[in-house]
Chains A and B, each alone.
Chain A
Amino acid sequence: MRNIFLFIRRYFNVLLFVVLQVICLLLIVRYSKYHQAIFGNTANQITGKINAGYNNIEYYFHLRQTNDSLVKANEMLYNKLRYSFNLPDSVNREMLDSMKVDSLYPFRQYRFSSAKIIANDVTLPNNFLVLSKGSNDGFKPGMGVITAQGAVIGIITDVSNNYAVVMSLLHKDSKISGKLLKSGETGTLLWDGKEPNILVMNGVSKGAKPIAGDSIITSGFSTTFPKGLLLGRVISAKPDEGTSYLKITLRSAANFNTIEYGYVIDNFDAPGVNKLLEKAIKQQ
């Protein structure tokens, strides 16, 4: 017994070193798997406060860009309004809807809520963003985040009371189902970790012949994003050696260097769909 104590006292520093390294490795492995760690919430609160303070100052330097992007978003929405379309054809005659406005509410599927982005990385191998709202505003892990122009930014992975952490598209674990707008072929969007704003799309069959500039949109196959949001535009497409798929390089629609605001998408159908999926997986 005495010898054990002597041994521990003699090699205490080596043992402490090994113990600390093991703790670190456990943190790395656990966190990248489950996207949450024991300290997740508290660290979120503290670093969130510091980030919010810093953003308060930095925000003024980006007011011009933020304003421009909001004006553009407004322009886009005006163009979607009913009265901006001329309807000469009698078939398209405007009809009064018999449904009451209030009764629409239960049929609403998506709700968008704005949130300020208070921290944003693009240079790291795995990038995250932090939003200034959290579970108090109804944000939950798994919700999608888009820009004012409707371009996809990422998915919420972690929330505290007042802050939410978003896994950006520029993250090695980020996998989003995308679709070529022209031909309708679907594939998976990934980031190879090399250059910000440049993504890779796998799983598109060689039959599709995308050209530079083609739009890639969300497929609507998950509950995170509605169908038809812009993900990016094709830069080049090459056949992937050894497989029957194409390797498409694309530029993300959201410019991650300049985003200031995000819109979080709450899908009211998500709980129901996810419950069914869980049941199906259990039955296997």
Chain B
Amino acid sequence: MPVIVKNLFRFSLFMLVQVYVLDNIRLHQMVTPYLYFLFILWLPFHINRTLLMIIGFAVGFTLDSFRHQPGFHASACVLIAYLRPFLINILIPQEGAESNYLAPSVQSMGGLLAFMVYAGLLAFIHNAWVFLLEAWQFGSVWYFLTKTLLSTAITLVLILITELIFSRKQRFRTNTT
């Protein structure tokens, strides 16, 4: 399957799950489960940063259109799309893993821990940014902090489950093939 088709399919699936499943779960007022931005984390290594940010904007904007409030998630997605390459550079263990593997995964990041740090940091940044933009309306620092931490915890659990169910087996690519 071509990469673009695969990603378009993935994109619509993530959006539908986020809008019609996760947004309807009412665990607690402090918890908003987010999963859709995993799409950005799963994009291939070789995408250049300009395109990555534009994709991020499109992803956030789509969710915002469903919620009738443009701006909030688009802003957060652009932020994590901008920060993603920095984090990958820091966390990737061995030289050349970017060219040997297609996309960030447990395998290519060199272990579950590294991948969860990568996903956890970006999830925290995303949630904090969204709630910060929303908190202009409701105030209160403690409310903001607890909401961010609890939501990030739930999001991480969701990401872990998704990783376990849809394990993305990746071939080790070498120069010979």
Contacts from A to B (Cβ < 8 Å) = 12-13, 16-17, 20-21, 23-29, 31-32, 37, 39, 43, 46-47, 50-51, 54, 119, 121-126, 128, 130, 158, 165, 172, 192-196
Contacts of B70 in A (CB 8 A): 24, 27-28, 31, 37, 39, 43
Chain B: minimal CB distance from A96 (Å): 51
Please tell me if the beta carbons of A17 and B82 are within 8 angstroms of each other in the complex: yes
Query: From DSSP, what is the main secondary structure of chain B's interface residues?
Result: helix
Residue contact B29 to A126, C-beta cutoff 8 Å: no
Complex CA–CA separation, A29 to B136 (angstroms): 11
**Nearest B residue to A31, CB-CB:** B70
Query: CA–CA, A26 to B23, complex, Å?
Result: 25
| A16 in contact with B53 (CB, 8 Å) | yes
Known: A28-B75, A31-B70. A122 touches B26 (CB 8 A): yes
Known: A54-B20, A172-B137, A195-B29. A21 touches B79 (CB 8 A): yes
B16 to chain A, nearest CB (A): 8
B50 contacts A125, CB within 8 Å? no
Partner of B78, one of A24, A47, A54, A123: A24
Over the window 68-112 of chain B, the binary record of Cβ atoms lying under 8 Å from chain A Cβ atoms (1 yes, 0 no) is 111110110011001000000000000000000000000000000
Residues on A with beta carbons closer than 8 Å to the beta carbon of B75:
20-21, 24-25, 28
**A-B residue pairs in contact (CB < 8 Å), sample of 18:** A13-B82, A17-B82, A20-B78, A21-B79, A24-B70, A24-B72, A28-B133, A29-B71, A39-B65, A43-B65, A51-B66, A119-B66, A123-B23, A123-B25, A123-B32, A125-B137, A158-B68, A193-B138
Knowing A28-B70, A31-B71 are in contact, say whether A172-B26 is a contact too (CB < 8 A): no
Count chain A CB atoms within 10 A of each CB in B54, B57, B71, B75 and give the residue with the most.
B71
Within the complex, what minimum Cβ distance (angstroms) separates B30 from chain A?
10
Instruction: State the CA gap A21–B67 with chains docked (Å).
Output: 19
Closest B residue to A20 using CB positions: B78
B119-154 CB contact bits vs A (8 Å, 1 = yes)?
000000000000001100110000000000000000
Q: Which residues of B contact A122 (CB under 8 A)?
A: 26
Contact B26 A125 (CB under 8 A): no
Q: Which partner residue on chain A sits nearest B73 by CB separation?
A: A24
Q: How many A-B residue pairs have CB under 8 A?
A: 92
Chain A residue numbers with a CB within 8 Å of B133 are 28
Is B49 an interface position by the 8 A CB rule?
yes
Rounded to whole angstroms, the CA-CA distance of A12 and B54 in the bound complex is 13
In the docked arrangement, what's the CA distance between A31 and B67, Å?
12
Q: How far is the CB of B146 from chain A (nearest CB, A)?
A: 13
The residue from B49, B69, B72 contacting A13, defined by CB atoms under 8 A apart:
B49
A128's partner among B53, B68, B72, B79 (CB-CB below 8 A) is B68
Chain B proximity of A83: nearest CB distance (Å)? 44
Having A25-B75, A31-B69, one finds 5 other A-B pairs with CB under 8 Å, namely: A20-B75, A21-B75, A28-B71, A123-B24, A125-B134
Interface string of B24-56 (1 = CB under 8 A from A): 111001001000000000000000011001100
The listed residue (B49, B64, B67, B134) touching A121 by CB distance below 8 A is: B67
A187 to chain B, nearest CB (A): 21
- A209 CA / B23 CA spacing, docked (Å): 39
In the bound complex, what is the Cα–Cα distance between A165 and B70 (angstroms)?
A: 14
Residues in B neighbouring A25, C-beta threshold 8 A: 71, 75
Contact check, A27 vs B71: say whether CB atoms are below 8 A apart: yes
User: Smallest CB-CB separation from A157: which chain B residue?
Assistant: B68
**Cα distance, A145 to B67, chains bound together (Å):** 19
> In the complex, which residues of chain A have a beta carbon less than 8 angstroms from the beta carbon of B67?
121, 124, 128
Q: When the two chains form the complex, which single residue of A13, A126, A158, A193 contacts B53, counting CB atoms closer than 8 Å?
A: A13
Q: Which residue of B lies closest to A13 (CB)?
A: B49
A residues within 8 A CB of B64?
27
Q: CA separation between A139 and B49, bound complex, in Å?
A: 44
Smallest beta-carbon distance B168→chain A, Å: 27
Give the 3 A-B residue pairs with the shortest CB-CB distance, closest first.
A28-B71, A24-B75, A27-B71
- Kindly identify which residue among A17, A50, A126, A192 contacts B69, using a CB–CB cutoff of 8 Å: A126
